[in-house]
Amino acid sequence: MLREVEANYAPEFSTLMVRDVFVPGMVDPPPPPREYPEDAQPCGTMGRSGAGFVEAPASGDDQTVRLQLHDGPPPDDRADWTSVLRTPYWSRSGSVSLEFVTGGAVSPALDLGGPGRYGVCVARRGESPDVEWRLRFWSDASSTVDLPRWLVRPGAATRPLSDGWEDLLGWPAQELVGIVRSMSRERGGAGVSIQEVDTWGVEHHRSVGWLDAPLDAEAATVAEIADQLRIAVPSTRRGLVGVLVAAGVLDADDDGRMGPGHPEPAVDVLTLPATRSRVLRAQRDRRSYTAFATDLLSLAVWAPTDPYVTTVDDLADRLQSTEREIMLTLIWAMEQGLLIADVTERGAPLRLSVGPGKLRPGPGRS
């Protein structure tokens, strides 16, 4: 390691952002040869890069971030980290810093030694409030890091399909379910009472009596769902618990202590207008596939040829994912116009291109 800067970082918009430091006379970047489509999810599952930027999903409070410059590819210590991504990077100025999404440096600049092509290894470990990041840069003028590669993935590449209940019931339900899940997880899976939820809310900046506040914008939808579930129509957040239990979103024992449930999809339980069902299914698919679609897009963006020719098996190895995740995400991404893909059978060549959607500059572009 040649140089290092370290910062305590509070992510803005759940995003860790590293950008080129602006200097007069910055060179126009030749690679990557393509841009991400307008509707691409910004960070992917673990991170993405481009000309003048690296970004990664980073929800939570203050996190430790170290930016390092190495004199060559750094040692492979992936076993010590829960997420590791290696990707190309193009620097216009030869200097980078940790920034907020909306601008403003958070760390001192890390001098990379001049404009050009670099490799960067993005690694993450720990859980809030003890999250640690390390981004190791090195000169890659010979393009040995030809395409992004996911070395360690903390879980599945795609998110579980949403059941749709919280989308239908709105923010009050989302808040309640989130609190119950968090409290139950902190207690090793033990259930929590409604009074404990109430107390937790007051201790975390809700006003006294917050559970007894009336339902407003969501009241009509909640009433319709309660009628279909054949339970009393609630008028407050406290009463909403009964709807969540009846829907299976929350489980409750004989003493009323609650934990996360395992509901059937709302579209399979309720009679909904066709348009609403389509919207729920679209929301479900977007949440499940959008981040992983950006991982696939990163390969098409950085590929030296268009289309990028590969196979599903090769993608599964490069992305640390399954064939099923790749195929389902490819189908969704093609429907959204994010990717153009051509595959006929397992083992056959797969051709990937960036889709025809409107293109936008990356965060590092002017």
Tokens describing residue 99: 């920034």
Where are the CATH 2.60.34.30 domain residues in the chain? 3-152
Q: Quick check: 354 and 339 in contact, CB under 8 A?
A: yes
96, 18 contact by CB (below 8 A): yes
Write down the pLDDT at residue 39: 81
What's the CA angle centered on 125, arms 296 and 90, to 5 degrees? 45
- Tell whether omega for the bond before 363 is within 30 degrees of 0, i.e. cis: no
Query: What would you report as the CA-atom Rg of the chain, rounded to the nearest whole angstrom?
Result: 23
User: Is residue 304 within 8 Å of residue 33, measured between CB atoms?
Assistant: yes
> Looking at the chain, which residues constitute the CATH 1.10.10.10 domain(s)?
284-354
pLDDT at 129: 77
Tell me the three state secondary structure of residue 269: helix
How many beta carbons lie within 10 A of that of residue 294, not counting itself?
24
Give CA–CA dist 313/174, Å, rounded: 38
Residue 166, token pair as written in the block: 């919280």
**3-state class percentages of the chain: helix first, strand second, coil last, to nearest 5:** 30, 25, 45
Name 87's Cβ contacts closer than 8 Å, sequence gap at least 6. 47, 48, 49, 54, 119, 120, 122, 145, 148, 149, 298, 302
Instruction: Give the C-alpha separation, 300 to 303, whole Å.
Output: 5
pTM of the model: 0.81
Coil, strand, or helix at residue 242? helix
CATH code of domain 284-354: 1.10.10.10
> What is the identity of the amino acid at 16?
L
Which CATH architecture group holds 3-152?
Sandwich (2.60)
DSSP one-letter string for 85-149: EEEEEEESSSEEEEE-TTS-B-S--EE-SSSEEEEEEEEEE--TTS-EEEEEEEE-TT-SS-S-E
pLDDT values of the chain reduced to their tens digit, one per residue, 366 residues = 999 999 999 999 999 999 999 887 776 766 677 888 878 899 999 999 988 999 999 987 889 999 999 999 999 999 999 999 999 999 989 999 999 999 889 999 999 999 999 999 999 999 877 899 999 999 998 888 889 999 999 999 999 888 999 889 999 999 999 999 999 999 999 999 999 999 999 999 899 999 999 998 889 999 999 999 999 999 999 999 999 999 999 999 999 999 999 999 999 999 999 998 998 888 889 999 999 999 999 999 999 999 999 999 999 999 999 999 999 999 999 999 999 998 766 678 999 999 976 544 444 433
Task: Name residue 138's amino acid.
Answer: W
State residue 360's pLDDT score: 43
